[in-house]
Amino acid sequence: MDQPGSAIVVGVGPERGLGAALATYFAEKGLHVFIVGRSEEKLNHVVQLIQKVGGAATSIIADVTVEQDVAQCFGVLRERGDVIRVAAYNVDSNIPAPFLQTDVKTFTTLWQQNCLGAFLFAKEIMAIMQAQQQGTVFFTGATGSLRAKPPFTAFASAKAGLRALAQGLAREFSPRGVHVVHTVIDGVIDGDRARSQFPEYVEAKGQEGLLQLEDIVQTYWAIHQQPRSAWTHELDLRPFKEPF
């Protein structure tokens, strides 16, 4: 009988955030979860939450835009020696700015966090899953993955690059047993970041106007469990009230 194995979630921040929600849900399903982020305090808090529900997690402090950090992160996974069942690149950095006010540093930073980091992550995880001939890899996208609107042109450019990366990986590695999924989060997630940074916007969306974390993670898990004869590569998630 196969052992449960492990999962890795990159981009874990606040308790009420998609990264933490995915990590907790994967742990509840019996996977040992490696959580990766830049804040030791936030990572430790999520580990404690996972342990409270009877799960197991290991925190890894890393900047995923730095190749050495990513290599060291996956060194920890290889030391454990588990089959990696599911992986999620959930970094979602955004800096709104009108185009003529967008400097090179802002554009580059957004590309590094949303796209370059995903490339470095993919180099490691695809090698592991190709050798396993199994596993699911999620890349969390956004509305900007499909269309660019001001003042988010730089962000959209980075997310479009992430989508192209995921498409290329899916076409190359699906025949080798690796399920690559790009998810378009087309709406605002009801989490700590939105409620602290955009409270008026959250209020304006009204009842059932936001994506709920618990519903998103259930969808991710359902996609992970798809049989090989009917794999989804890309899907979009939005509240039923969201215009599109």
CATH number at residue 80: 3.40.50.720
Question: Dihedral angle at the C-alpha atoms of 15, 20, 24, 25, nearest 10 degrees?
Answer: 120
Number of domains in the chain: 1
229 in a domain, yes or no? Answer: yes
What pLDDT was estimated at residue 3?
Answer: 66
128 in a domain, yes or no? Answer: yes
What pLDDT was estimated at residue 195?
Answer: 84
224 in a domain, yes or no? Answer: yes
What pLDDT was estimated at residue 2?
Answer: 58
Q: 155: domain range?
A: 68-237
pLDDT digits (tens, 9 = 90+) for 83-131: 999 999 999 888 999 999 999 999 999 999 999 999 999 999 999 999 9
232 in a domain, yes or no? Answer: yes
85 in a domain, yes or no? Answer: yes
177 in the Ramachandran plot: left (φ > 0), alpha (ψ -120 to 50) or beta?
Answer: left
63 in a domain, yes or no? Answer: no
Q: Note whether 192 and 14 are within 8 A (CB).
A: yes
